[in-house]
Structure 1
Amino acid sequence: MRDCLIADYPRIIFCAPQISPYPETARQALVSLLENFRSDDSCGPIGLVGSSMGGFWATYLAEHYRLPAALVNPAVNPARRMPEYVGQTLRPYGGGTEEYRLTPADVDTMHRLEAGLQHPLRGRYWLLAQRGDETLDYREAVDFYRGQRQTVEDGGDHGFQGFARYCKPIVEFLFNP
């Protein structure tokens, strides 16, 4: 996405923050970041793109700020998997050396955040999912984002094979309703 924006849409600001694995810390940081962009008059319209857990966070922000979002193999019920990791020493999914440990309070926080995402969804979404996702069940996302634009492909994987072909259409979706 970054490469596409640099090459074809240099006026669009690209921001891909490192997101904390701790739900409340992540929520606070993302809300603060979004508020900063919203208060900057030179920023222009805001669109969100998120993959996996980033898809959950993009949905959270889209619902609270009524923003458009493109979601790539998004996590729709992340709290459900969290208990099996409570107390374990973990490393960030995207790499890195900083270890962390989830607590029962983190699971409770994630359940609370999920509960705030009620249907009907108020944002404008485009779900991009691949049936071959080995990490998440694409059918959960199809159900969660029912009534929204959806592209569901056979094959693929959690990294969404061939994502680059959707970059320009995503920009059009986010900024040209």
Structure 2
Amino acid sequence: MQPPVSHVLYLHGFKSSPQSTKARRMAAWFAENRPDVVWWCPQLPASPADAMALIVDGTGDWPAERSAVIGSSLGGFYATAYAERTGCRAVLLNPAIEPARDLEAHVGVTEAWHSEQPFEFRPEYVDELRTIHPRALTRLERYLAIIAKGDEVLSWEEMAARYAGCQVKLLEGSDHAISEFEEHLPEVIGFLGLEVPRG
């Protein structure tokens, strides 16, 4: 039985930010119910190598056995790589499985979802994703994957195959954003070993 987490890292998806609905909902839950838990949801750079460097540097003094990472979409890919590197627990929300393949079509300049700032995804970032890609998963009990069959961006079959043997919650419908995320929040919190304080 693992101890409850004391540190939680949230990693947003491609072109997303800490202003995403799920990130804000999780931040609000911890602020209201468990302000004693360290919560960090950084704005990730477009460069995957820079994103991983930021994540690793920012959590360098975190205790692995009491840490967890939650990642959505591309953030789920990063979360898996981070969990394999540190040994911490991971919650994955419609995680990207082959982002190097899928994001080649997105090379160029666009806008992030939650700002009007230009967002450039460079060709070399595809190679950075290939370098980060974890080859195999270890200690499968550390993973909870919430996967929507209704995901309009990623293949649910590919996600389910990647996390076979892990704790998987397969949603019959839903969408890439998991719009009804609130319904799954208790399961996420429980997986982290946390309870809402009483009194």
TM-score, structure 2 normalization: 0.77
User: Residue 106 of structure 2: which of 72, 85, 109 is its match?
Assistant: 85
User: Residue 99 of structure 1: which of 73, 96, 118 is its match?
Assistant: 118
Q: Partners in 2 of 1:120 and 1:32 — Cα distance? A: 22
More displaced 10-residue stretch of structure 1: 162-171 or 23-32: 162-171
> Is 1:159 paired with 2:177?
yes
Partner SS for 1:135: coil
Aligned to 1:74: 95
Aligned to 1:20: 45
Shift of 1:18: 0.8
Structure 2, unmatched stretches of 5+, are 1-25, 195-199
User: Residue 108 of structure 1: which of 127, 137, 146 is its match?
Assistant: 127
> Is 1:135 paired with 2:135?
no
Q: 1:84-114 deviations in whole A, cap 9, x for unaligned?
A: 222x21222x322322333332111111111
Shift of 1:120: 3.8
Aligned partners of 2:74 and 2:99 also within 8 Å: yes
> Is 1:9 paired with 2:31?
no
Shift of 1:38: 4.4
Amino acid at match of 2:164: R
Amino acid at match of 2:161: D
Amino acid at match of 1:54: G
Q: Partners in 1 of 2:185 and 2:40 — Cα distance? A: 15
Q: Partners in 2 of 1:10 and 1:23 — Cα distance? A: 30
Q: Partners in 2 of 1:106 and 1:162 — Cα distance? A: 32
More displaced 10-residue stretch of structure 1: 154-163 or 118-127: 118-127
Partner SS for 2:53: helix
Q: 1:129-151 deviations in whole A, cap 9, x for unaligned?
A: 11111111111110111110000
Q: Partners in 2 of 1:85 and 1:159 — Cα distance? A: 19
Aligned residue-pair number = 168
RMSD: 2.0
Shift of 1:26: 0.7
User: Residue 121 of structure 1: which of 105, 118, 138 is its match?
Assistant: 138
Aligned partners of 2:84 and 2:137 also within 8 Å: no
Aligned partners of 2:66 and 2:88 also within 8 Å: no
